[in-house]
Chain A
Amino acid sequence: MVLIYIDQADQQIKKSTQEALSYGAAIAKQLGTTAEALLLGNVSDNLTALGNYGVTKVHHINNVQLNTFDAKVNATVVAHAVKKLNATVVVFAHNINGKALAPAVAVKLEAGIVTGASSLPDTTNGFVVTKTVFSGKAFAAIQIETPIKVISLNQNSFGIHAQETTAIVEILDIPVPAPSIKITSVDKIVGEIPLTEATLVVSGGRGLKGPENWGILLDLAKSLGASTACSRPVSDADWRPHHEHVGQTGIQIAPNLYIAIGISGAIQHLAGVNRSKTIVVINKDPEAPFFKAADYGVVGDAFEIVPALTAAILKSKASA
């Protein structure tokens, strides 16, 4: 059986879970087995509807302590559940909690793990998972040698596959150890889609000259319903908040659309965004290295192009 971990925050299932469920279900199909899901804590979502993503059962450990994330506690509980349910493949989203949890679960199960998987495993001869390495500049095919396999899936790399089916929900009784950390506060930017979950991203670099010029970028993002990002010098100079910094040392993202405005396209920047499906580059320098990594490019002054692009988007939306 393939068991998929449901990640939640604020008692809501994260979007990345839908993709992990779809991926786990596809692995199960490939192996001729079933896909089931594991939920720790309580959520407001309808659990039977998770069947839409291909799982037949949702195992629910409904202990309120598990509503908040504690890597040590969650790893103990998940590993216990995997053993109790006899799962042979365990799938996580390679998101913030998945990164903290999956390797610890692998240790407790003495299982081999591949983090950041980019496609379905090859199970024709052994169990080989392909993942991105060198910050998106290459792939590695890695064989897992152990009886139990743990995989975490890179976000936005498999897609969400849904159809109308329902899952059975079963309560699972697993002892929950005492908390190992105490969460004292949570500070979230309200109303914004977290960058790692965004499908559309508009990003600005030093070419925008100063924080006072970000209005045109924000207008473009608003017209698309996109999240905003920036290059490292921009966040280092405090023109934009640090959580917007993408790249090798910042956040790595893989949206469907990445629009880079006034960003030169240094290799360390590309490392954070080169898995984006479509890249649009707006830069006044036709020699800017970013154009080599782009699908669409506009050479010219961002201060003229960006408002024109926003207007074109609004016009196209109005006529749709």
Chain B
Amino acid sequence: MKILVCISKTPDTTAKIAFVEGNTKFDENGVQWIINPYDEWYSLVKAIELKEKDPTTIIHLVTVGGADTEPIIRKALALGGDEAIRVNSISNDSFSVAASIAQVAKEGAYDLIFTGKETIDYNSSCIGSMVSAMLDLPFVSLATHLELNGTTATLKREIEGGEETCEAILPIVVSCQKGMAEQRIPNMRGIMAARTKPLKVIEPTSIAATTTIKTFELPLAKTGVKLIDADKMDELVKLLKEEAKVI
């Protein structure tokens, strides 16, 4: 069994969101970077759980990014995984990022390719679907559960108002979310081991970007909360009806 886990670097969930250079760039000043929570908590840990069940499993991590993603990938290796590949490309265009991942995936002949549900910065939820199309593989999105039986995977995926169970023959691409696995904390042994795990850097095949970010904008601030006395619920109902017009 060979698993490829896609790892992306995102600002910490509490990072202050601001923009510079005429609102064309995210202000990275003072920002703490983390592994995208969906990648860390769900897809990576799921891959580790599968390896614990079958120790012959090989886990590779892939990230598309500059050298500044290396601390993130080392942290991911500290949780688990055998080696990492960084595609040396900085891009906000999902198409290009997916093409780089597909390039790595093709060479590695993986049985399972895991992505997170979405990155918490650009919220594209594109990469899994795109990689599956580029490799012509089945795609199960927003998976909450996965079990393997030989080359058959049984998965649960979220649907509106419930869950669907399906079976697919490997290889497949899966986007992971809550339910897939339980969050773990790296231990000292893992951190030490991660230092010597291979981290390969490869160059991307050049591909034209299909999209370009022009500008960023912050939403208008709320004008301020209207406080209603706890014993005047009739007034709140009236406001919701007549002012907000939502009920």
- Residues of A whose CB lies within 8 Å of any CB of B are 9, 14, 70-72, 75, 95-96, 99-108, 110-116, 128, 130-146, 180-189, 192-197, 199-200, 224, 242-243, 245, 248-250, 256-257, 267-268, 271, 277-278, 280-281, 291-301, 304-305, 308-309, 311-313, 315-316
Contact = CB atoms under 8 A, between A and B. Distances in A.
Interface in B22-39: 37-38
B58 interface: no
Contact of B13 (A101, A248, A316): A248
B90 interface: no
A141 B166 contact: no
26 contacts: A9-B159, A14-B160, A71-B129, A75-B129, A96-B141, A102-B129, A104-B132, A113-B211, A115-B125, A133-B122, A134-B11, A138-B19, A139-B217, A140-B217, A143-B211, A145-B209, A180-B137, A182-B167, A188-B159, A245-B178, A277-B246, A280-B236, A292-B225, A297-B228, A311-B233, A312-B236
User: Size band of the B side of the interface?
Assistant: 35 or more
A84 to B, nearest CB: 18
Contacts of B227: 296-299
Interface in B199-247: 208-219, 222, 225-231, 233-234, 236-241, 244, 246-247
Interface centre among B38, B168, B178 (most CB of A within 10 A): B178
Contacts of A188: 159, 161-163
A72 B137 contact: yes
B178 A181 contact: no
A104 B234 contact: no
Given A9-B160, A112-B95, A200-B247, A134 B17 contact: yes
A101 B247 contact: no
A122 to B, nearest CB: 9
A133 B141 CA distance: 20
Given A186-B164, A309-B237, A313-B247, A304 B230 contact: yes
A281 B159 contact: no
B98 interface: yes
A95 B41 CA distance: 23
B134 interface: yes
B103 interface: no
Given A113-B94, A138-B218, A268-B13, A189 B162 contact: yes
B91 interface: no
Contacts of B228: 296-298
Given A141-B216, A180-B137, A304-B230, 11 more contacts: A71-B138, A96-B159, A103-B126, A107-B95, A107-B129, A138-B216, A194-B162, A277-B246, A292-B222, A313-B237, A316-B237
B207 to A, nearest CB: 10
Contacts of B213: 140-143
B142 A135 contact: no
Interface centre among B41, B213, B218 (most CB of A within 10 A): B213
B140 interface: yes
Contacts of A144: 210-211
A132 B217 CA distance: 9
A312 B38 contact: no
Contacts of B128: 103
A194 B160 contact: yes
Interface in B111-154: 120-130, 132-134, 136-142, 144, 154
Nearest to A68: B164
B165 A185 contact: yes
A296 B120 contact: no
